[in-house]
Structure 1
Amino acid sequence: MLHSIVEYYADNEGYRCGYCKSPNTNFSHGMWAHSMTVADYQDLIDRGWRRSGKYCYKPTMDMTCCPMYTIRCRALEFKASKSQKKVLKRFNKYLAGQSECDKQPRDSSRKMSTCSSETDMLESFGEGAEQFVESTQEPQDININNIVKADDECCSEMQKVPESSQKLEKKQDICQQKEVKKGDGPDPAKAPHKKAKQMRRERTLEKLKEKGIDITTLNNTNKNKEKQVEDFINELPNDVKLKLEVKLVRTAPASPEWQATKKETFEVYFKYQTVIHNDKPEKCTNSKFLDFLVQSPLLEEHSETGPPCGYGSFHQQYWLDGKLIAVGVIDILPKCVSSVYFFYDPKYTNLTLGTYGALREIAFTRHLHSLCPELQYYYMGYYIHSCTKMRYKGNFYPSDLLCPETYKWFPLKDCIPKLEVTPYSRLDPDLDSVDYNYPKEAEKNYIPLLVKGVIISYKTYKRKNNKGIEFEEKMVQYSELVGAKSAKRLILVSS
């Protein structure tokens, strides 16, 4: 049977904040995990914990300068925004060999921000970006909506009139407006004004009628159907110039695939940290890279109802024509895919790989859900509303935030008004709601302790050892932070 073995650090000292850069204002509790089951880690992140390598930490929300709220995206309900679709389209154009994709994004003011304390900052573009024309269906499947869109392109020239006629029509409109007194509203004698899109649709139908096509048989099933992330990913033409391959390799324990690619992976990481984050080369050593993004306490687990790859820690490698250009560090857990970090070759910054990688990971979460129905969320780490640069995670809609007091999930859109008032907030609107995983006094006695290689209960340990009030307070604090459920299962190392 697999067991989680941890060491808890009760100190709550202040450290320099990685977001607002204030000294001694970042408070958190820490725990070193020698080993951990994926079920135990799932319970911990649902109480606000996260891991960096084998070190797990939980921010002290009501003390830290920039409160960090656990955020998850409801992957099954996710809808890509216009800017996110634009990222997918641009990447596909790049694979197709279109030279315009080699240029930097047009809006140079929207530069990517980075923060060494969190996952790679995902780039995003304004919601005012132009809408993309959907790809047409096969010729035998006539879709009236696609025909209308194609007709839009040629109608603009047909609708042009001489400048003199435009001026005359403008004067006539002004005269008509003067005839209608203020407050009278539109002239009831005239037919309602039709929208340009409706007029183009009617013209298209008339043209089809003239050609003898029965418009009642046209396929309108996709009239209101939005393209999903997977549709954009899979819509590549057959004659692509560049081939993209996304490989999933297990890192803990190290798989042969990881061992064969560790050199290339570290090189991409080194470039990313020194160029994007401006880290000094001496801080980006191979050993620190392994401790940060390769070592993991999560145990490899397989089950009949789990994904074929199993649960645990992985790297998703993005290979472009045989060259590694990006890596997504993820944990596959019973209920979610948890993003740990994302880094890429700075040479490809123009492809907005941070956003592209997140969208691919959402699609991957959906794929795993089709195999494991319980796995349906994409965890993005922490959402820091008080740090403007960290609000980008809210662009992945719909998302939920974890209440730091009751540990229940609430829609991000409902939480933002509260966070606008104060950085730290109880997100649960029900004042009578409580933390149902809060340990009772009797439950704390059954915390398993590892003492000199033997597992005993805390109750038994207290009877044999007098550690004093300080040790008892530490045990109480530990059980409250991890929750009653985890406190009974995690084996706590005691000196």
Structure 2
Amino acid sequence: MIRISRAYYANATDLSVELYQKLIDRGWRRSGKILYKPDLRASCCPQYTIRLDSSAFRPSKDQRQTLNRFNNFIIGQTYRTAAARLYPKTREQAQRRKQEFDLIERIHESEQGLLNIPPELAHSFKVTLETDDFTEEKFELYENYQSVVHHDPKSEISRISFKRFLCDSPLRTRAVSKTENQDLLGSYHQCYRIDGKLIAMGVLDLLPHAVSAVYFMYHESVNDFGFGKLGAMREIAMAKELGYRWWYAGFYIHTCKKMRYKGDYSPQYILDPESYLWYLFAKDIKHQLDTSKCLGFSKEKSEISELSSNAMSPSSPGGSTEQEGSTADNRTSDSDEDLDLDVPVFALGMPGILTRDELLSQVDLDEVIIEVDNLRTKASCLIGWQKSNINSNLSVKGFIAGLVATVGPDMLSKIVIKLR
């Protein structure tokens, strides 16, 4: 079977976290420095943006058991027995632990340096948030994961592809001062080590209102511990503990069985690809996805399950009004060889994209900022601009119009389009 997918691509060399937050709330994601927005109607397997409200997350019985089993492995029964004698809990503390499951408390329960010593734990467990730099240690973990879990041939696993995929991020990394702490923003590697060995790593984009999961990998030696669940719960706990609130698990593909696990965490919300409103990802929507290839929930549902007032509002606000240094350079791509590349993106019927008339009524394309040979100017200064055909995707005006139609007019002041 030939599977066809289509997306709009852009190459970002420098991107603020505020702008990327707005982009993912319009159905974009990144792979390395490549930004892409799938065309849900033209894809065999539509990719929906989903996010989870960490403040309302309640882990399932299976998820709680997975975390408890791992903590017991790290701590060990010898420590449990001795600690009960050396550091006894009050009756109230013991009763509270039986009746309540505090996610943040349990997530950190077995971490090195957080338990009373002596006695010694069965194993040391440490989680660190590190820069997204390349190291041989990280690459060896990636190589093991890709070959054992994804069955990729060793010949296709290279340091170059690892760097490009998981180390090269266009996001600007910085800390934001607050009264009590500093929120980290940008791209990071969350590294998990048992007895000093790197056994798992999550690639994260920390945004003003999101912990966005880019990728997660683990070593085959810890396969039985359910590290996919452990990693997801730690990222959710991070979103709650540090005030990011939302956890973005990446695209959800309903027809892909390997992706179904993302729907096991609740409450989650799914982004309407037409209106960019968030809807509770409940059973009624999942049932619709069973029977319909592509949904625009605001158009196809006259009534829907009760929505969170915060989730129903448009994408979370946030961001700067300053000029962003993001750049783009690509166009619609399709695996179907019969696609006419000269057709402008706004004529493809792609959900959530401005039509030609909407674009011309809302945007003055002459004012778009471009960069040519390190010189920034307005698009209207280009030779031949006025005669350039907006209806041709192969013309400079058509290319710029397609990008603006895809990212939306409200972000026009925050981007610079780099022409080569």
Structure-1-length-normalised TM-score: 0.65
Give distance in 1, aligned partners of 2:230 and 2:7. Answer: 31
Q: Which whole-Å deviations, capped at 9, do the CAs of 1:298-340 have from their partners, x for residues lacking one?
A: 1123332496363111000001111111100001111101000
Q: Whose Rg is larger?
A: 1
The answer for the alignment partner of 2:411 in structure 1 is 486
Q: Which whole-Å deviations, capped at 9, do the CAs of 1:54-88 have from their partners, x for residues lacking one?
A: 11111111110000000111111111000100110
Pick closer, same or farther for the CA change 1:462–1:73 going to 2, 3 Å: farther
Aligned residues: 348
Native 8 Å contact 2:104 2:241 kept in 1:
no
Q: Which whole-Å deviations, capped at 9, do the CAs of 1:258-287 have from their partners, x for residues lacking one?
A: x6xx11111111011011110010111111
Q: Which whole-Å deviations, capped at 9, do the CAs of 1:71-130 have from their partners, x for residues lacking one?
A: 11111111100010011011011102369xxxxxxxxxxxxxxxxxxxxxxxxxxxxxxx
* 2:42 counterpart SS class: coil
Amino acid in the other structure paired with 2:298: D
Structure 1 residues without counterparts, runs of 5 or longer: 1-21, 100-136, 147-221, 370-374
Give distance in 1, aligned partners of 2:158 and 2:93. Answer: 58
The answer for the alignment partner of 1:347 in structure 2 is 221
Give distance in 1, aligned partners of 2:109 and 2:162. Answer: 35
- Give the deviation of 1:401 after TM superposition: 0.6
Native 8 Å contact 1:246 1:319 kept in 2:
yes
Give distance in 2, aligned partners of 1:249 and 1:60. Answer: 34
Give distance in 2, aligned partners of 1:292 and 1:98. Answer: 41
Pick closer, same or farther for the CA change 1:289–1:302 going to 2, 3 Å: same
Pick from 281, 289, 307 the counterpart of residue 154 of structure 2.
281
The answer for the alignment partner of 1:250 in structure 2 is 131
Give distance in 2, aligned partners of 1:452 and 1:292. Answer: 27
The answer for the alignment partner of 2:17 in structure 1 is 38
Give distance in 2, aligned partners of 1:42 and 1:310. Answer: 14
Give distance in 1, aligned partners of 2:389 and 2:2. Answer: 33
Amino acid in the other structure paired with 1:412: F
- Give the deviation of 1:487 after TM superposition: 2.6
Native 8 Å contact 1:418 1:427 kept in 2:
no
Pick from 12, 17, 29 the counterpart of residue 8 of structure 2.
29
Pick closer, same or farther for the CA change 1:223–1:425 going to 2, 3 Å: same
Native 8 Å contact 1:248 1:315 kept in 2:
yes
- Give the deviation of 1:494 after TM superposition: 2.1
Give distance in 1, aligned partners of 2:171 and 2:108. Answer: 32
Native 8 Å contact 1:401 1:415 kept in 2:
no
Amino acid in the other structure paired with 2:129: L
The answer for the alignment partner of 2:232 in structure 1 is 358
The answer for the alignment partner of 1:181 in structure 2 is none
Give distance in 2, aligned partners of 1:405 and 1:399. Answer: 18
Give distance in 2, aligned partners of 1:425 and 1:245. Answer: 42
Native 8 Å contact 1:440 1:484 kept in 2:
no
Pick from 402, 406, 413 the counterpart of residue 477 of structure 1.
402
Pick closer, same or farther for the CA change 1:226–1:266 going to 2, 3 Å: same
Native 8 Å contact 1:385 1:423 kept in 2:
no
Q: Within 5 Å, which residues of 2 pair with 1:53-68?
A: 53-68=32-47
Identity among equivalent pairs (%): 32
2:374 paired with 1:453: yes
Structure 2 residues without counterparts, runs of 5 or longer: 79-87, 303-311, 315-351
Structure-2-length-normalised TM-score: 0.76
Native 8 Å contact 2:289 2:295 kept in 1:
yes
Pick from 210, 214, 217 the counterpart of residue 336 of structure 1.
210
* 2:279 counterpart SS class: strand
Pick from 129, 147, 171 the counterpart of residue 298 of structure 1.
171
Give distance in 1, aligned partners of 2:44 and 2:257. Answer: 14
The answer for the alignment partner of 1:321 in structure 2 is 195
The answer for the alignment partner of 1:418 in structure 2 is 288
Native 8 Å contact 2:353 2:405 kept in 1:
no
The answer for the alignment partner of 1:80 in structure 2 is 59
Q: Within 5 Å, which residues of 2 pair with 1:398-409?
A: 398-409=267-278
RMSD over aligned Cα atoms:
2.9
